[in-house]
Each structure stands twice: as structure tokens, then as C-alpha cells.
Amino acid sequence: MRKLKLQVQMTADGFMAGPNGELDWMNMAMDEGFISYVTELTDSSDTILMGRKLAEGFIPYWTNVVANADDPQRPFGQKMVDKPKVVFSKTLSTSSWANTTVANGDLATEVKKLKEQKGKDIIVYGGSSFVSSLIKEGLIDEFHLFVNPVVLGNGMAIFRQLDATQKLKLVKATPLTTGSVILFYVKG
């Protein structure tokens, strides 16, 4: 069975965005360790899951990166554009984005069907409500938490919908020269 892997940037106090979705706190410096980790994680997956709100910025962003021949992110951007994407939405029924389908059914049922398909693993990116729902349903197999050295005190948290304890097992902690740390957990 395919694994569902979460990759998310977050603060040291567990927020993935400020109270109004602010991302100005995020450390965008990419050292060799960050690039290597993200490349390996991306290459181990052949499908991207995301909620509609994130998709509205994520898909056009990477499409524009690929359209610019001089953009240094272009090789990675091509991976983001080429990988099949599944966007979960309560308001969209079809997608105008390339390589993208829309899922409207029950989240747990739809994700379990995807995990049962043949192929590489599946990677999921935020937003906070979508990721919180996946965590609450126990659907995430691997947590790749990119913890930035900043605290907000308030914001959008990915663990806010939990109604029961979920134990995690630390597989690896990778410190980066940028001051961030990548924590890799599996369900424990």
C-alpha cells in the first residue's frame, strides 16, 4: 500500500501560518541539506494531494516557474507540474489545471482509495484545515515537519482538530545550516 507523506513548513510552536495566513516568518533559505531532503521526498512520490485553497496558488506558481526558462527553480518546478495532482474541494467539480483531478467525496474514503492504487507514495501539502482533517482521520503515514526557528504565539495549526491522541515515532532529525530542523516521524 502507498504511504501518505506530509511535507509542511511550521514554526517551533506548531503553526503553519499566522492567524491571517501570514507566511513572512518562513525561512526560505535553502541549503544543500534542504534541497537534498526535499528532492528525495518528492522523487519518492508520484502523486500530490492538496486542498483547493492551496491549489489556487501552488499550481499557478509552479506553472509560471516552468514557463520561465531562466528560473533556477525550473527543474524542481517541472516535477511539480508533471506529477498528477488531486485537489480536494467542496466547491469545485472539475479542474482547469493540467494533470489535476478534483475529489469531492468523503476524505477518508477517497484517500484510502488512492493509497490502494499502484504506484509510488503520495505527498500532501497544506493548508491547515485540509491537513488537520487528514491528521484527524489518521490518514498520514509519514510526517516531514520543517520546523523554523521562530514562534508566533498564535496562528493556523495542523493538529487542532485532533480528538484523540496520536503517537508518533521519530525516525530522523535533520538540522539545517539555516537554523531550521526537519523532523521525520511515522505513526507510532
Q: Indicate which CATH number applies to the domain containing 46.
A: 3.40.430.10
73: pLDDT strictly greater than 80: yes
Question: Residue 146's pLDDT is what?
Answer: 94
Q: Which pLDDT tens digit goes with each residue over 87-145?
A: 999 998 888 888 999 999 999 999 999 999 999 999 998 788 999 999 999 999 999 99
What DSSP element (H or E) covers 129? helix 128-136
- Which cell goes with 34? 534542504
Q: Which pLDDT tens digit goes with each residue over 20-63?
A: 989 899 877 778 888 889 999 999 999 999 999 889 988 999 99
State the residue for C-alpha cell 478534483. Answer: 102
Number of folded domains that form the chain: 1
**Residue 144 in contact with residue 182, Cβ under 8 Å?**
yes
Q: Which pLDDT tens digit goes with each residue over 136-186?
A: 999 999 999 999 999 999 999 999 888 889 999 999 999 999 999 999 999
Most distant CA pair in the chain, distance: 48
Distances (CA, A) of 44 to 16, 37, 91, 120, 124: 23, 11, 30, 6, 12
Count the neighbouring beta carbons within 10 Å of the beta carbon of residue 42. Answer: 17
pTM to 2 decimal places? 0.92
Distances (CA, A) of 27 to 4, 68, 150, 181: 25, 24, 9, 11
Buried b (16+ CB within 10 A) or exposed e, 61-83: ebeebbeeeeeeeeebbeebbeb
**Residue 123 in contact with residue 5, Cβ under 8 Å?**
yes
Domain that holds residue 118: 4-187
CA angle 74, 79, 81 (to 5 degrees): 85
Question: Residue 13's pLDDT is what?
Answer: 95
